[in-house]
Amino acid sequence: MTQKQLLESVLKELSCIKKDLPNNDLKLMQKDVEDMKLNISDLKYTLLNPDNGVIVNTNKNTDFRVGMQSNEKDFQNKLSELKDLRRWKESVSKALWIIFASLAGLIVRALAQIVDKS
């Protein structure tokens, strides 16, 4: 099919559409097309809004995840330091209880010796 034949067939179809469709139907179709344009425009704005569009939020989320992944090793080091600090605290706490119990025992013994001498 040549280009001329194709163009003639398109024109023929358009003339059939003009004849077959009343004017009101064309206006309704035109209104529907305009509504679709508005909806597409709203969708485009929602996607591409530079302040809080979907693409901007996705990029922010990606940046946040990349930042968190780069800090993962530092986080693990700090977590192990915290665990070590807790173990040290528990050991010191046990040692202090032993010292306080020994001091209390020595004080009670000294008091008992003082009472026995009198």
The domain limits of the chain are 3-70, 85-118
Residue 22 CA to residue 19 CA, distance in Å, equals: 7
Model confidence pLDDT, tens digit, residues 12-65: 888 877 776 666 677 788 888 888 998 898 888 888 888 888 888 888 899 888
pLDDT at 23: 66
Q: Residue 53: how many CB atoms within 10 A of its CB?
A: 15
Neighbours of 77 (CB within 10 A): 10
Reported as a single tens digit per residue, the pLDDT across 74-110 is 989 999 999 999 999 999 999 999 999 999 999 999 9
Sort 56 into a burial class: Cβ within 10 Å, 0-12 / 13-18 / 19+.
middle
Q: Among positive and negative, which fits the CA dihedral 85, 86, 89, 90?
A: negative
Structure tokens at 107: 């004080």
User: For the whole model, what pTM was predicted?
Assistant: 0.42
| pLDDT value at residue 22 | 66
If you ran DSSP here, which 8-state letter would residue 52 be given? T
User: Buried b / exposed e across 33-47, counting CB within 10 Å, b at 16+?
Assistant: eeeeeeeeeeeeeee
